[in-house]
Amino acid sequence: MMTLLSPTPSVLSSPQRRCHLLLLLYLPGQTVTPEILARLNGVDDAKALQDIADTGDEIQRYHRLSLITQQDGSYRIEGTPLNRRLCLLHWLRRALRLSPHFVQQHFTPALKTQLKQQGILTALYDEKNLQALISLCARRLQRQFDARDVQFLTLFLQYCLHQHHAGIIPEFTEQQRAWTQIRPEYLAALEIARHWKRRVLQTANENEQLFLALLFQLLRMPDPIGDNHEQDLRLRGAIVTMIAQFREQAGMSFSDEQGLSDQLYIHLAQALDRCQFGIGIDNSLPEEITRLYPRLMRTTREAFSDFESHFEMRFSDEEVGLVAVIFGAWLMQENDLHEKQVLLLTGNNLELEQTIEQQLRELTLLPLNIKHLTIHSYQKEGAPKEVVLVISPYSTTLPLYSPPLIHVELPLGEHQQQQIRKIIEC
């Protein structure tokens, strides 16, 4: 087991501390307890336990992994080999940004020690040899990897060697296999697989090649202009169709549909990979979007349904929420609009006020900033200067100066809906 020296107490950010924890959990033979983590990060036991809980929540949400407490009080990560590797891919890249010193001082030497103990030929995990393979793959893919990417790939390939030698090999569904095999990254990964197969890979070599292809696939930055693979062209065609469906359902158009299409391409090329391999994203967004922009979210989901059918995938509400944000941003940009501020006057009927607010949000695809103010304060102080419309479910007198005020009753009448929409969408 690697011996960890207690560093001088220092102020580390929560993301840095959690990076240290995740990398410790991936180190072969390393025991991870709250006490060890507390000493390493220079924090008390309570904060170490909170870091463990937060990390457990995050890897469950993003990678469907569990942080398990063992009988001796130590922790381990439980989940499929594929999800475990995808989790490390994310966290090791994060650690190289946030805690490069920790990667260099702790993770790298411990991994090399394990490779030596496993009896793997030094030539297979030698940095110069791996970097030569990475350069070869970059040429095959017509890409350039920066120094940090090369450092990451070198370490990650070493970890894959360790895992394979230990018999821990990722498995793929038939759909995942087909998705990966048609990508150009699959042929590039063959270069590494051939090099390794001559010396170490005996079984399940195709699964390792599939994973290496996925690794390069997840590192790519989609280019809506330069990408011309068959799968890329298929995606662009599906996006054009989706924009047309959104335009038809929303009754609103975009003058620069190419610009919108390019942004959606960059996002959805990565979202398709996340969806195919079960990689999660932040889950707080869709609930907020559904509450604040229900019509935008609903219109996006409707326009998205044929896209999902085309690729035979079901996207999460989180992913659809991000697409809705893109559509909403382009609608505002199209009309040179900013978030309109509407003032809702409040009194003694909270349920009525909440229902009116929800109906206001249903009227438009554009974002609204609905502020609340009591009738008494409104009559005394008037509306804030940024407000473009005042809505009141109660009878009230107008102050000396006020934006347009509409007195509403439920349900909102068609004429009132048109009046409100005209003001907030102009």
Show Cβ contacts of residue 171 under 8 Å, excluding neighbours closer than 6 positions. 80, 81, 82, 207
Note whether 363 and 421 are within 8 A (CB).
Answer: yes
For residue 2, the model assigns a pLDDT of: 47
For residue 179, the model assigns a pLDDT of: 95
For residue 335, the model assigns a pLDDT of: 55
SS3 of residue 223 by DSSP: coil
Q: Per residue of the chain (426 residues), what is the pLDDT tens digit?
A: 444 554 455 578 999 999 999 999 999 888 999 999 999 999 999 999 999 999 999 999 999 999 999 999 999 999 999 999 999 999 999 999 999 999 999 999 999 999 999 888 887 888 999 999 999 999 999 999 999 999 999 999 999 999 988 989 999 999 999 999 999 999 888 888 877 765 554 444 689 899 999 999 999 999 999 999 999 999 999 999 999 999 999 888 887 899 999 999 999 999 999 999 999 987 677 677 788 889 999 999 999 999 999 999 999 988 999 999 899 888 877 555 567 899 999 999 999 999 999 999 989 888 788 999 999 999 888 898 889 999 999 998 888 778 899 999 888 888 999 999 888 877
Q: Can you list the domains of the chain with their CATH numbers?
A: 119-220 (1.10.1790.10), 230-332 (1.10.1790.10), 341-425 (3.40.50.2300)
| Strands 340-346, 66-69: pairing kind | unpaired
- Supply 348's token pair: 């003694």
Chain centroid to CA 279: 8
For residue 81, the model assigns a pLDDT of: 97
Note whether 307 and 242 are within 8 A (CB).
Answer: yes
Show Cβ contacts of residue 148 under 8 Å, excluding neighbours closer than 6 positions. 96, 97
Tracing tokens 């889950």 back to the chain, one arrives at 283
Show Cβ contacts of residue 109 under 8 Å, excluding neighbours closer than 6 positions. none
| CA 100 – CA 97 distance, rounded (Å) | 6
* DSSP notation for 159-204: HHHHHHHTT------HHHHHHHHTSHHHHHHHHHHHHHHTTT--SS
Exposure of 274 in the CB half-sphere (CA atoms within 13 A) = 18
| CA 370 – CA 247 distance, rounded (Å) | 26
Show Cβ contacts of residue 261 under 8 Å, excluding neighbours closer than 6 positions. 224, 236, 239, 240, 243
Phi, psi (5° rounding) for residue 353? -65, -40
Exposure string of 71-92, with b = 16+ CB inside 10 Å and e = fewer, is eeebbebebebbbbbbbbbbbb
Exposure string of 267-299, with b = 16+ CB inside 10 Å and e = fewer, is bbbbbbbbbbbebbbeeebbeebbebbeebbeb
| CA 298 – CA 33 distance, rounded (Å) | 46
Number of Cβ atoms within 10 Å of the Cβ of 38: 19
Angular region, 382: left φ>0, alpha ψ -120 to 50, beta rest: left
- Supply 224's token pair: 């809506």
Question: Is the preceding omega at residue 411 within 30 degrees of 0, hence cis?
Answer: yes
Phi, psi (5° rounding) for residue 69? -90, 125
SS3 of residue 382 by DSSP: coil
* Full strand arrangement of the beta sheet holding 368-374: 368-374, 340-346, 387-392, 405-407
- At CB < 8 A and 24+ separation, what contacts does 33-38 make? 33/73, 33/74, 33/75, 34/73, 36/4
Task: Kindly provide the residue ranges of all beta strands, DSSP E only, lying in 61-135, ordered along the sequence.
Answer: 66-69, 75-78
- Supply 365's token pair: 């695809």
Nearest to 180 by CA among 130, 150, 216, 138: 216
